[in-house]
Structure 1
Amino acid sequence: MSDWLPPGLFDYGAELAAEVARRLGAGVVGDAACWIDMPRRLKLADVVSEPVRWGTGALCVDLGPDDGETWERFAEVHQGESDTEAVAASAQEWRLPVTPYRRMSEAAVVTAAPESNCEPMDPASFDGEVLDGKQIVDLTSMWAGPLCTELLGRAGAEVRKVSSTARPDGLAGTVMYAELNAHKTAVELDPRFGAGRDALERLLATADLLVTSLSPRALANLELLPEQLCVRHPRLHTLAVTAFEPDSPECDWIAYGTGVHAAAGLGWMGDEPQAPAYSYPDPLAGLRAARVAVDQLAGVAHQHRRVSMAGVVAPLVGSMACSRGDGTPTSAAGSGGDRHG
């Protein structure tokens, strides 16, 4: 099992956690390392997908429980193709979470984007009351989104976690799931159909914030994109936690944290692709999303925001590229802006 994690991960995570703690309180956020190192702290075998060699490169094939047969058909169709970029793009058309392992010199570094057109509010003026009485609908799964909403719940928000028996959370039944969802009320419904759809609409009618971790295409199918929601729920804030940036070629791709690690160029060490010890982009994105959510509800950030794992790991990419001197742009090595896709 790999034990590799990017240099500077925990220091960077501590910076993100400090930003959240200034808004929610240190007692709510706690030690960033506890969130970032959850799999090892909880003694979980956080199995990540090992690189699949393909042609002269490699792919991150991070399959969900229902993807096995589709992947087998896909692999048979594309047998003999050597261009990993083209193969990954085709796999995404099949709705498979497959990304290429890129060398750092091939990966685009995401630059920071403006936080908001508003003047930022002094976090000290939040007084820990921003979330009092706020109602949040949590339509997330796995690690990044649930971490965001768990921190909001610990700070006093009323979080309703939407659980679907049709598409259960991949962590359901684990101690990690219990810790990431301890301060939430579970609501079982299937948002795709009939009664479940109506129940979701009733939740959104009284909610202040909807947090999602679905792909843009899935959000569109459920009519949960901001432009779709603004007619039905004009006061509702939305925060989408996604894999890639909205203005990137991969903006509609689906991927887990390991796939983002691969595509960002953080997984090619020397002559070999390298899987991480665990999916570290998730907790980084969860911390960043929690900060953005508080700013939204405080009225100092846009009503509709998007946070991506690719955007939040960009400073790590920039730092590594700078230290290696391999010619990769380093403009993201600074404070770590959060336009995410």
Structure 2
Amino acid sequence: MSDWLPPGLFVYGSELAAAIGGRLGRRLVGDGQAWIDMPRRLGTADVPSVPVPWGNGALCVDLGPDDVETWEGFAEVHRDEPDPEAVAVAAQEWRLPVTPYRRLPAASSGRLGAPAVNEPIGTTSIDGAKVVDLTSMWAGPLCTELLGRAGAEVHKVTSAARPDGLAGTPMHAELNAHKTVVDLDLRLAADRRSLDQLLASAELLVTSLSPRALANLDLLPEQLCARHSRLRTMAITAFEPDAPECDWIAYGTGVHASAGLGWLDDEPRAPAYSYPDPLAGLHAAARAVDQLAGTAPPHQRVSLAGAVAPLAARAACALTRDARTDGNSHG
């Protein structure tokens, strides 16, 4: 397994954790590096999907077990297309989690410095707030676990028929330690009604489903407002709502690739594990606390791509400095 991770990752994660610690208390949040390095700390890291050379670049093909046959058929149809960007767009139409490995420009308009989560004066109490957790894997469960540690009453909706991809691992146990598990299969009408009953008394719904999946389940904010006018929502997605990729399916490695952080050297590189997930989870937790406190808009969307933007901006600045230094040394 590759041990490579973007430079500055743990410093940035520590800044995020400190910002959230200002809301919930440092003791509850803990150390940012510990949350980011969970797969290696707990021995649950998988071999990441390696870059797939394609035409004049590379693709991140981050398939689930149900995607393999579809990908094989897709790849055969598009094997003569040389542009990874065009292939990724076409793959998304097949609902395949495929993204291009992009090169990070030497100059970037991305945000620099500290993450955009303002630290309030004093801590915020969310003790007893009822939160419904409709997330899986890492980003969403980290967000709701931090809320649970701070005293929120978190109801984790999962399905024995379609378990979380981390189920049975030490990581899953740590990310869901402060939650009440509710077994619901949302493919069933009766279980969807049970979820709606749960939402009737909830203050916040946290999801990590795609916008298309949320719409199919009547869980978009505009769909929920008529039934639960007081319910706040936090959606964790792969990309920002105003991005061309806003509806794309992607996981952390795919966001790593598309953000340019996978091509800082002469060739594309996969990360040791999906580090965009904990960054997004920390961002989401900070915003969720503000939502529960009534100091942030009731409906929020946090993306993995938005969470890594400051990290990409810092990497771009480093590339620019290196280029200038190299140019001066040869001047």
Task: Tell whether 2:295 aligns with 1:295.
Answer: no
Identity across matched positions, percent: 70
Give the whole-Å Cα distance in 1 for the aligned partners of 2:116 and 2:308: 17
1:77 is aligned to 77
- Residue 121 of structure 1: CA displacement? 8.7
> Which amino acid in structure 1 is aligned with residue 122 of structure 2?
A
1:62-99 alpha-carbon deviations (Å, 9 max, x no partner) = 01121111111111111111111110011111111110
Q: TM-score, normalised by structure 1?
A: 0.90
2:329 is aligned to none
Which of residues 119, 122, 125 in structure 1 aligns to 2:120? Answer: 122
Kept in 2: contact 1:110–1:311 (CA 8 A): no
Change (3 A) 1:188 1:297: same
Specify the SS of the correspondent of 1:305: strand
1:173 is aligned to 168
- Residue 122 of structure 1: CA displacement? 3.5
Task: Tell whether 2:319 aligns with 1:321.
Answer: no
1:286 is aligned to 281
Task: Tell whether 2:16 aligns with 1:21.
Answer: no
Change (3 A) 1:180 1:57: same
2:148 is aligned to 153
- Residue 47 of structure 1: CA displacement? 2.1
Give the whole-Å Cα distance in 1 for the aligned partners of 2:181 and 2:300: 24
1:251 is aligned to 246
1:267 is aligned to 262
1:51 is aligned to 51
Give the whole-Å Cα distance in 2 for the aligned partners of 1:168 and 1:203: 20
Specify the SS of the correspondent of 1:285: helix
Give the whole-Å Cα distance in 2 for the aligned partners of 1:169 and 1:109: 36
Which of residues 167, 177, 195 in structure 2 aligns to 1:182? Answer: 177
Change (3 A) 1:109 1:102: farther
1:116-164 alpha-carbon deviations (Å, 9 max, x no partner) = 9xxx8934152xx2x1111100000110000000010111111111112
1:139-191 alpha-carbon deviations (Å, 9 max, x no partner) = 00110000000010111111111112343211111111011001111111112
- Residue 271 of structure 1: CA displacement? 2.4
> Which amino acid in structure 2 is aligned with residue 74 of structure 1?
F
Specify the SS of the correspondent of 1:272: coil
1:44-67 alpha-carbon deviations (Å, 9 max, x no partner) = 233211001111110000011211
1:101 is aligned to 101
Give the whole-Å Cα distance in 1 for the aligned partners of 2:322 and 2:235: 32
Which of residues 310, 329, 333 in structure 1 aligns to 2:305? Answer: 310
Task: Tell whether 2:6 aligns with 1:6.
Answer: yes
2:190 is aligned to 195
Kept in 2: contact 1:121–1:300 (CA 8 A): no
Kept in 2: contact 1:282–1:309 (CA 8 A): yes
1:336 is aligned to none
Q: TM-score, normalised by structure 2?
A: 0.92
2:138 is aligned to 143
Specify the SS of the correspondent of 2:157: strand
- Residue 29 of structure 1: CA displacement? 0.8
Give the whole-Å Cα distance in 2 for the aligned partners of 1:125 and 1:180: 22
- Residue 4 of structure 1: CA displacement? 1.4
1:332 is aligned to none
- Residue 260 of structure 1: CA displacement? 0.3
Kept in 2: contact 1:42–1:175 (CA 8 A): yes
Change (3 A) 1:249 1:27: same
Alignment of 1:200-279 (within 5 A): 200-279=195-274
Runs of 4+ displaced beyond 4 Å:
106-112
- Residue 255 of structure 1: CA displacement? 0.7
Change (3 A) 1:121 1:103: closer
Kept in 2: contact 1:110–1:314 (CA 8 A): yes
